[in-house]
Amino acid sequence: MRDLQMKFIGSHSNARWFQILNLVEDERFFTIKSLAERTGVSQRTIIKDINYLKDFFKESVSFVSGVNGYRFEEIDLIHYKKQKRKLIQSELLFEIVGNIFYDEKETIEEVAEYYNSSESTVRRLLLQIQPTLETYGLKLNLYPIDIVGPEEALRKFFKDFYYIGEQTPHTLFPPEHLHKLINQLIPYVESHEVRTGMTPAAFYYSFFIATERFKNGHTVTVPSKLKEILYKDENFLLLYDIYEKIEPDIESLLPMEEFSWIYLVTIGKRTIDCADQEKNFCEKFPLWPAISDVTVAYIRERAISVRNQIDIEAYIHSFFLSKKINNMFSPAENKVMNEVTRAVKKNYACSFEANFRFLIAHQDILTFSQCFLEDICVSLTMYIEMLLEFHQQPKKILFLLEGDHLICQSTRIAAQYLLGYQNNIVFLPLSKLTEKNIEDAQLDLVVTNYAQFITDFNIEAECILVNSIMNKKDWERVIEKVNPSMKKILF
C-alpha cells in the first residue's frame, strides 16, 4: 500500500496490518521485535497480528518461523492482492475521495448516518488527511466535505491516489469507451516530434480525470505564454484536430485549453533514449534561455562524462525545462511519492545531496516552487542516474576463466546478460591467450577465477579475482566496478 493511501486508512488495525505487510514485502525476513519497534506497538500485538494475517491470507502467503525470525513469501500473488483489497473494503475516507472526484458532496451528518458512525469520528478522520492534502497545496473543507485548491493540483492528487497508488475496491478506472478513443490517439502521440516517457495507462488516467472533472464544471487554466506556443504549433493543432474527430460524445469533448493541460502533463514526462525528441522539446519552448547556462554548469560541476556529451546536454536541458513548465502551469506536477523520495535518499544519498546543493545555488534562475524543490531534486537524481546508466562510456572487460567447461560457459552467458548490453565483453580462445594480445586489447577490467593468470601475463589492467564458481558476492564486486548504479538495481 502506498504511503499516500495509507494516510486515508481510518482503522488503526488496518493501518498497522498494511504497515506490517509493506515491511515484510520489502525485507522478506523479519523478527517480532523489529516489527514491534518499527510499528510502535507491543510484541504481543505483533504476534496477534501475524496470526491474524496468516489466517486471513491462508494459502496465498507463507509466514515461516525459524530460529532467528520469520520469512515472508507470496505463494499465490493474485489471491494475495485480492485479499489485501478486502482489508479496506469499508474504509470511509476512500469512499469520500471518490465522491469528491465525481463532485458528489456530502455533509458530515450524512456521512455519519450512512456509515453508522458518530459525527465526531467522521470529523476526526477527515482532519487526519489535512496534512497530506497540504503537500499538494490543497486543503479540506468540512461544510460540505470537499477538497479545495487549484484544480491542477487536485487532478495531480487524484492521479496519484488512483493510478500511482495500489488498486483498491475504491479505485476508479477509465471507462471502456475512453480506452477505445485514446487507443486511436496514442499512435499520433507516439509519433509526435517531442514524444513522451508517459505510459499508456497514465495517459488514459490523465484523459479520464480531465473529462470527468470538466463535465462537473471544474476547469484548469493554462498560462497565456504556454497557450501562445501551443496554439501556433502545427503538431499540437493536428493532435487536437484528430481528437475532435474521434470523440463521439459532444458533451465529453474537451475544449482546447483542457486538451492543452493533458498535452503539457504528457510531454512533461521526458525520455532517456530519444535525444532528437529532447532537442525538439527544448526548441518548442524557448521561454527561459538561461536554462542552457544552468545545464552547462550542472554538467561541469557534477563532472558528467558519457559517450555522447552533446546528447546529454539535450537530456539535462530538457529535464530542467520540463520542471520549469510544470512549475508554470501546475507546481504540484513536480511532486513525487514519499516512497520514491526515501529510496533515492537511501540509494543515491551523495548524488541527491550534490543535486540539492546545485538547485539551491541556481534557484535565482530556476525559481522552482520552494515547497516542491526536494521533489524536483529526487526526480533529477533519478533521471541523472538513469542517464549515466544508459549512456555510460562502454568498458572493455576480459573474462579469463578456468574450470569445468559448462561452468565457464554458464559464466560467459551470465556476463553477457548482466554486462554485455552496454559493454564489450571479451573471451579469448586458447590460441589468442598471450600477453601481447591481452595488452593490445586495451582492457578496462579483467575478471578471472585463476590467480596465476594475473602474474603469468603481467596484466596491467585492474583485475578482480573471483571464486572458481562465481557467487552473488563476486557478481556484486564486478558490477560495482563496472556500473555502481546497476548494482543498486539488481541487488
Q: 10-residue block means of pLDDT along the chain (491 residues)?
A: 90 92 90 91 93 92 87 92 90 94 93 90 94 96 94 97 91 87 79 79 92 95 96 91 83 91 93 91 95 96 81 95 97 95 93 97 96 97 89 86 87 89 83 82 89 80 90 90 66 45
Is residue 425 a contact partner of residue 444, using CB atoms and an 8 Å limit?
no
The DSSP secondary-structure symbol of 107 reads: -
The CATH number of the structural domain formed by 92-149 is 1.10.10
CA distance 376 to 363: 12
- Its CATH class, for the domain covering 396-490, is alpha beta
pLDDT attached to residue 490: 47
SS3 447: strand
Dist. CA 163–CA 56, nearest whole Å: 26
Q: Is the peptide bond before 331 cis (omega within 30 degrees of 0)?
A: no
Terminal-residue alpha carbon distance, the chain: 22
Biggest alpha carbon–alpha carbon distance for the chain: 86
| Cα–Cα dist 360/350, whole Å | 16
Domains of the chain by residue range: 3-87, 92-149, 176-267, 275-390, 396-490
Closest by CA position to 35, among listed 55, 63, 11: 63
CATH of domain 3-87: 1.10.10.10
Structural contact between residues 331 and 372, judged by C-beta atoms closer than 8 angstroms: yes
Measured in whole angstroms, the distance separating CA 86 from the mean position of its chain's CA atoms is 26
Q: Where are the beta strands (DSSP E) in 382-461?
A: 396-400, 424-426, 445-448
Pairing of strands 29-30, 70-74: antiparallel
Q: How many CB atoms neighbour CB 4 within 10 A?
A: 20
Cell numbers for 106, please give them: 456530502
Contacts of 178 (CB under 8 A, 6+ apart): 204, 207, 208, 211
**Alpha carbons 265 and 247: distance in angstroms, whole number:** 20
Strands 70-74 and 61-65: antiparallel
Give the Cα separation of 57 and 360 in Å (integer): 48
Cell of 380: 533529477
Q: At what angle do helices 176-190 and 234-246 cross, to 10 degrees?
A: 150
How far is it, in rounded angstroms, from Cα 259 to Cα 203?
12
How far apart CA 321 and CA 36 sit, in angstroms, is 45
pLDDT reported for residue 487 = 54
- pLDDT attached to residue 76: 92
Rounded to an integer, what distance in angstroms lies between the CA atom of residue 368 and that of residue 327? 6
Which spans in 268-404 are helix H? 275-284, 290-301, 309-329, 338-347, 349-361, 363-366, 373-390
The answer to whether 191 and 235 have CB atoms below 8 angstroms apart is no
- C-alpha distances out from residue 71 to 44, 77, 153, Å: 18, 16, 41
Q: 3-87 with 396-490: one CATH topology?
A: no
Closest Cα to residue 449, out of 433, 471, 420, 481? 471
395, with CB counted inside 10 A (0-12, 13-18, 19+), is middle
Distance of CA 398 to the CA centre of its chain: 35
Residue 491 has a pLDDT of 45
Exposed/middle/buried for residue 86 (C-beta within 10 Å: 0-12, 13-18, 19+): exposed
d(CA 288, CA 229) in angstroms, rounded, equals 13
Within 10 angstroms of residue 454's Cβ, the number of other Cβ atoms is 14
- Amino acid identity of residue 411, one-letter, is T
* 471 three-state secondary structure: coil
Q: What integer pLDDT is reported at residue 488 of this predicted model?
A: 59
